[in-house]
Structures are given as C-alpha cells and as structure tokens.
Amino acid sequence: MKVALFGHKIEESDSHSVLEFLKALRDFDVEVAFESVFLTHLNNQSCAIEAQTFEAEGGLDQTYDLFVSFGGDGTMLRAVTLVKDLGIPIVGINTGRLGYLSTFNKEEVKKVITEFRSGAYTIEERTLIYLEHAESMGIPIDFALNEITVIRRDTTSMITIETYLDGEYLTSYWADGLIVATPTGSTGYSLSCGGPVLAPLTRSLVLTPIAPHNLNARPLVVSEDTVVKIKVSGREPQHVLSLDSRLALVDTETELLIKKANFKAKMVKFNSESFISTLRNKLLWGEDKRN
C-alpha cells in the first residue's frame, strides 16, 4: 500500500497529529511519501521526519492507493488540483475550523488507516466543473470541485451577468456576482449566498446570484450536463473570476463556458460517516433547542 501526505503550513501544535498518523502507517508497513514543501514545513517545526517526497507539480502517479490531506477545506481543494485525473482516492484530516470536506478530526488519525485497510469505506465520485479556454485567460488549472464564480472588482456598482443554459438565454443578473456550484460546493460560498444544499452525488449544478438587485432572481438547480455560458458587463474593464478561490482577472464582455469536467474526484467515504451526520455535526442541523 502506498500513501501520499499533503498539507499547508499547519500549526505547530497540530504537527503531532501528522507524526501519530505516520507512525500508524509505518506500523502497518505502508509506503509513505510527503509532498516536498509540506515535509520541509514539518521539519522546520523540529519533527525530524525522514521520508520519500513528491513534487506538487507532476509528482504523483497512479501507483498511490490513497492521498491524505492535513488541513481545512482549502487544503482539500488544493489536494484535488494535485491529484487531477489520476483517480487516487482522497481523504481529509481536519486541522482547521469547519472542515466540511475533511472527514476526520485530527484526534482520529489512527482511525483513518485502520478503517481504510479494513475496507470499511466506499468511494464517492464527485462532479467537477471545467472552464473552457481557461489557459488563454492565464488560468493554469481549469477545473473546480466547489464552484466557479464571477464577481465585481474595484467598484461598488453592480455588474450585469448575461446567462445562457445550453445556448438558450436565461436572464441577465444585476448583482455583485454569480456562483456556479457543484453539489460538493453547495455547502460553501453558494450556501452563504442563499443557495440550496445538494446531496454530494446529486447530478446537478446550482446557479446562485450574489446580492442580486433583481428581487425575483433566485438560485436555480440544473442538470450537471448543462453548459452554462456567462458574459459580464459593467463599469470596470475587468471582473474577478474564481475557481475554488484561485483568482484571475478577466476582461468584461468575455464569454465564459462552464461545463462538467470529463473526470471526477474520488473521495473516500467511511462507513462510520454519512451526509446526514455531516449536516448535523458541521452545520449544526437539529441543534435548535425546540427540537
């Protein structure tokens, strides 16, 4: 068994979780490789780890059985960009705050490897969305697990977001921006802007306007096979484009085509967890004292 470990500048107080997990892996005679920058960061905290390394860009291959991310949801999103289309299952150990995508808390690191080795898990294939011609806009990573968003820049004025679904005109949102989110991303920025929660394996996308001035504009759920075309106009010559918080500036009037990516992210779902329990534990559903 071969496992890749990745993280992003975790707190020194959390580094013991990595050491405990590493010990558990070695107790099971698992081959371990650290992302090189992550290992340097840990050793700068006096962890004194000796291990194989891989580079963030092009350092992984299909010989890995599991990719483990230490951090919060942002680190998990970064992990997906490292794995790309290799099909390596990903699991997160939360050392951040909410950690909605990160399955286990840092106190449960041993449980990750024991449940994985025992086969007490399934693989959930999560939909990714893809931005066509991203490279021509200076965007090196053209897919997102959570959402692709356009938002105003350097102005308090609204932007106009002309929106088409499968080539048919839908509407022009007057708003601060528009979010195109996957089911995974429905519990992120989209939820904060009033979008619905979608179950992770729902074959849908959700379009959520950000602070719309059209009071009849509401979030819209569409099939994941829908091609979404948007074009922004406004007072400023550029607006901000975000793919899972990776930012770029795009000229107004640029047509953006967003569609389902041709591969999916494989997320490890352990039998001891469920989507419903995650809603209760992470989003505090059912915590109303009247229940």
In this prediction, residue 224 carries a pLDDT of: 97
Q: How many helical (H) and strand (E) elements, i.e. helices and strands, does the chain have? A: 6, 18
DSSP state of 290: T
Label residue 166 by pLDDT band (50, 70, 90): very high
In this prediction, residue 291 carries a pLDDT of: 65
In this prediction, residue 231 carries a pLDDT of: 97
Residue 132 pLDDT greater than 70, yes or no: yes
Render pLDDT for 252-285 as a digit per residue (tens, 0 to 9): 999 999 999 999 999 998 888 888 888 887 788 8
Domain architecture of the chain: domains with CATH: 2-119 (3.40.50.10330), 128-262 (2.60.200.30)
The answer for residues whose C-beta is within 8 angstroms of residue 177's C-beta and 6 or more apart is 149, 150, 151, 152, 159, 161, 209, 210, 211, 239, 240
Render pLDDT for 223-237 as a digit per residue (tens, 0 to 9): 999 999 999 999 999
Label residue 35 by pLDDT band (50, 70, 90): very high
In this prediction, residue 98 carries a pLDDT of: 66
230 bridge partner residues: 163, 256
The answer for residues whose C-beta is within 8 angstroms of residue 261's C-beta and 6 or more apart is 127, 128, 129, 130, 143
In this prediction, residue 267 carries a pLDDT of: 94
Choose, from 14, 27, 65, 73, the residue flagged as catalytic.
Answer: 73
Interatomic CA distance for residues 35 and 4, integer angstroms: 7
Mean pLDDT over 91-97 rounds to 82
Ranges 46-50, 155-159, 204-208, most confident: 204-208
In this prediction, residue 226 carries a pLDDT of: 98
123 bridge partner residues: 268
Mean pLDDT of the chain: 90
Residue 208 pLDDT greater than 90, yes or no: yes
Label residue 55 by pLDDT band (50, 70, 90): very high
Q: Indicate left, alpha or beta for 265 from its phi (over 0: left) and psi (-120 to 50: alpha).
A: beta
Per DSSP, helices labelled H in 85-208 are 109-118, 189-192
Render pLDDT for 106-119 as a digit per residue (tens, 0 to 9): 777 777 888 888 88
DSSP string, 209-232: EES-SSTT---EEEETTPPEEEEE
Active site residue 73: yes
Q: Please tell me the least confidently modeled range out of 7-21, 114-128, 186-200.
A: 7-21
The answer for residues whose C-beta is within 8 angstroms of residue 284's C-beta and 6 or more apart is none
In this prediction, residue 258 carries a pLDDT of: 98
Tokens of residue 36, six digits: 């090189």
Mean pLDDT over 26-32 rounds to 89
Q: Please tell me the least confidently modeled range out of 25-29, 147-151, 171-175.
A: 25-29
DSSP string, 6-20: EESS--GGGHHHHHH
Interatomic CA distance for residues 212 and 277, integer angstroms: 32
